Structure 1
Amino acid sequence: MNDTREPAATTATATIPAATTPATMLAARIHAYGGPAVIRHEEVPVPVPAPGEVLVEVAATSFNPSELALRAGLLREVLPLELPHVPGWDLAGTVVATGERVIGRLDAGGAAAPFVSVAPELLVPAPRSLPLTAAAAIPVAGLTAWQALFEAARIREGSRILINGAGGGVGAFAVQLARRAGATVVATASPRSAAAVRRYGAHRVIDRTAVALHEALEGEPLDAVLNLAPIGPGAAAALPALLGPGGVAVSVATPIPGGVHLVARRDTGQLARLVALVDAGELEVAPAAVRPLAELAGVHAEAEAGTLVRGKTVLVPDPGRRASL
């Protein structure tokens, strides 16, 4: 099921009465490292906020490709999971006690459920101009693009940057932010993503399935290369040759020899700035698909098979599948 239709945005808030908060919920949980089938949907208690935390009713979370490696156990040395684990780094929802619409990045996961308990300092007000389902696409992808461009690549007005693999969720933010900063944006994308990448503002889109990058660029040096694609080591090693003197290579996927391998971090100040750009009409957020949370294992399977729609896939808990009060 791929349904990109969303309800109209609203700025209204309404406290969710405690009496209507269910005692249990159906959450996605991982009990062991492995393939997509290790993701189960189970009845668990609705979390009780610890001192200093708030309960958030989750409107949506979203899928991030790095969650495949997390689920498979490939990141256990750097990001070990306490099993069973509720995934979901991106959060968009409503604070139960106040009705405030919020978004946040949860490094410990937990948003792949109807409710999650979090420290309020991890949250920022959600965009007023977007439905919460769309806002769930912002935290991880938006922060990754921001930090890659402005901290690692240090782009500025007049920079010339190549964004390799711009058709995904991070690419949508990176192209828009780089263009807004005054950079000349050259992007690679597959034919199915090219139109969206052009809409986001790329000055030039190269079909990475049809032509070699060094031929397409015709020897014009770059100030920065941002790699967002899981390319082979040989292709990664060839990227620095595209840079001019003082140029910077950054990757959030396959490491680039001599370049910066970025692991994005939570930053609520940057997240609030992204929200402000969205509400000012300067940053478009358009998830490629909105699907029920119950399909999370299928989303993982499609991503591993290379058949998942490009762009951000948002996942929505189904209120009708919650357990009784």
Structure 2
Amino acid sequence: METTDILKRVRQIEIKTRGLSSNIFAGEYHSAFKGRGMMFSEVREYQYGDDVRNIDWNVTARFNRPFVKVFEEERELTVMLLIDVSGSREFGTTWRTKKNMISEMAAVLAFSAIQNNDKIGVILFSNKVEKFIPPKKGRKHILHIIREMVGFEPENRETDIAGVLRYLTNAIKKRCTAFVISDFLDTNFEDALKIANQKHDVVALKVFDPRETELPNIGFVKFKDAETGQLRWINTSKRSNRDAYSQWWNDNDEKVSTMFRKSGVDSVSVRTDEDYVKALMALFKKRS
């Protein structure tokens, strides 16, 4: 992709996703992803309805009238986006590819994070960590992240989700909220997911194309694996082939969903021909 095309795409994503973050997601995001806890702010005189457990007895004794401690949410979070840049993200049979949807969803989360004064960082991964962008704040930082998502060309095309989860666990020392955005065609990451979610708050966003769920009946078709490059002819006119493929998809989807449930990881699945706004809102409300 040429530089001018990248900048144009970045601007399009910024306009769309920044507006969504400001007008739709801001409140839901704040409620769904809490700060690290409550920190002391000040002492004020007791008012009717205040929790008596918050009375500061030392100050009360000094002034001979009741005072209470006031606490504020320690809001600042570190948010990490773990973004799948493997070959399979390039697939798409609707008006957008999985890559385009992943980029938009990540941008919405990034703008929502900085509006809540959170730091945002990114790990782009294939079957290795392709790029690490340390957590920072600010619009300039967000635009840098979007440029990387749009224009980045990975060295490898295969996927290793377990590897990036282990990297997250080792590289980010303090607890963070980590969004893993992938098609999750790789299913060998259960142990790494459990360990990562014990240290961090891991959230999974699965993106898939509707054509991936079943094969059309269009005769012999030459397929190419986007990650391994393997070529294979398949007779899609045979019902047994179409049924076997659909069964593979359903088994894969159920295996991944079961891993999320067993690991205590919140997740949502979004098709490329669907509105991801509704899916993210449902996820946020579920966590609120």
The TM-score range, normalised by the shorter chain, is: 0.3 to 0.5
Q: What's the TM-score once normalised by structure 1's chain length?
A: 0.30
Structure with larger Rg: 2
More RCO (CA 8 Å, sep 6+): 1
User: Whose helix proportion is higher, 1 or 2?
Assistant: 2
Q: What's the TM-score once normalised by structure 2's chain length?
A: 0.33
